[in-house]
């Protein structure tokens, strides 16, 4: 899923990420992932995620991304999250982690 095209002047680098594993998974086992917006400031978004298998929590994770303007020299400068993106993501922040990725109707 992309918010912007690859060559857009806006980017979303990861600032931090962590994951706690509670149970093991084996190669090719199917599992469910839920993600929600846990916190959103004017320039960054923190997500929380849960991995479940057969009703048991396998892992919990958090990661934070920043909104940046990609400069021509390859560097990045922090910028505010575009209003349309922030408004769209607000729909994904008020549900418990067990919810799926579809927005409420």
pLDDT tens digits along 38-57: 999 999 999 999 999 999 99
- Note whether residue 69 is domain-resident: yes
- Greatest C-alpha distance within the chain: 48
Which 8-state DSSP code applies to residue 91?
T
Domains held by the chain: number = 1
- Note whether residue 60 is domain-resident: yes
Domain of residue 75, CATH code: 3.10.129.10
Domain assignment of residue 73, given as a range? 10-90
- Note whether residue 66 is domain-resident: yes
CA distance 25 to 96: 23
- Note whether residue 104 is domain-resident: no
pLDDT per residue over 57-103, tens digit each? 999 999 999 999 999 998 999 999 999 989 888 887 744 444 444 44
pLDDT per residue over 2-46, tens digit each? 667 777 899 999 999 999 999 999 999 999 999 999 999 999 999
Query: Tokens 């149970």 belong to which residue?
Result: 23
CA distance 29 to 56: 13
Backbone CA torsion sign across 24, 26, 31, 35? positive
């Amino acid at each position: 899923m992309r918010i912007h095209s690859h060559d857009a002047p806006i980017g979303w680098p990861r600032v931090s990420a962590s994951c706690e594993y509670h149970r093991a998974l084996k190669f090719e086992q199917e599992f469910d992932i839920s993600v929600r917006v846990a916190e959103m400031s004017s320039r960054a978004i923190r997500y929380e995620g849960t991995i479940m298998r057969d009703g048991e929590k396998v892992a919990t994770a958090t990661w934070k991304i920043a909104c940046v303007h990609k400069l021509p020299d390859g560097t990045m400068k922090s910028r505010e999250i575009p209003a349309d993106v922030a408004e769209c993501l607000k729909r994904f922040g008020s549900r418990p982690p067990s919810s799926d990725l579809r927005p409420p109707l």
